[in-house]
Amino acid sequence: MSTYTDTGSDRSLGTIIKDLTADLSMLFRSEIALLKLELKEQASKLGGGAAMLAGALFLGLIGLAFLFVTITLGMIALGAPPWLSSLIVTVVLFVAAGVLVMLGKKKLQNVNFVPSEAIEHIKTDIDTLKADVARVRSR
């Protein structure tokens, strides 16, 4: 992958710098391409699943609304006052919502949105460059 024009150890400083610049440019383009690929792959996985979950959520919410209307009407049919039936269902809904918020928050804390593979490659490249610069300076 290198564009070295001379393989001997007696290359001029200008040649070394030109080759280093070309290699760095190619290296960073490759790292950016890897980062884009990794992010694109993650986004495509999220997109398909998210669409299906959104449809399921919509239908589930409609079904849940009808379930709670049915529960309220059933309590009224058993003799409870309408206001008390509605209050009981409302309190149960708020408690359930609070539990879901806490569980969802806990799950989201474990998600890592950082492209770790690309970052590790970049760190390795920087360490290698530092070592190469130190080696050239010591000549």
Q: Which residues contact 87 (CB under 8 A, 6 or more apart)?
A: none
- Give the pLDDT confidence score for residue 70 in this predicted structure: 96
Q: How far apart are CA 6 and CA 139, in angstroms?
A: 18
What is this structure's pTM? 0.44
3 CB-near residues (< 8 Å, 6+ apart): 19, 22, 23, 26
Cα–Cα distance measured from residue 86 to residue 71, given in angstroms and rounded to the nearest whole number: 9
Per-residue pLDDT reduced to its tens digit, 1-60 = 555 555 556 678 788 888 888 888 888 888 888 888 888 888 887 887 788 889 999 999
Q: What's the pLDDT tens digit per position in 45-81? A: 788 778 888 999 999 999 989 999 999 999 999 999 9
Q: Is residue 23 within 8 Å of residue 2, measured between CB atoms? A: yes
pLDDT, residue 98, reads 95
Size of the chain in residues: 139
pLDDT value of residue 129: 82
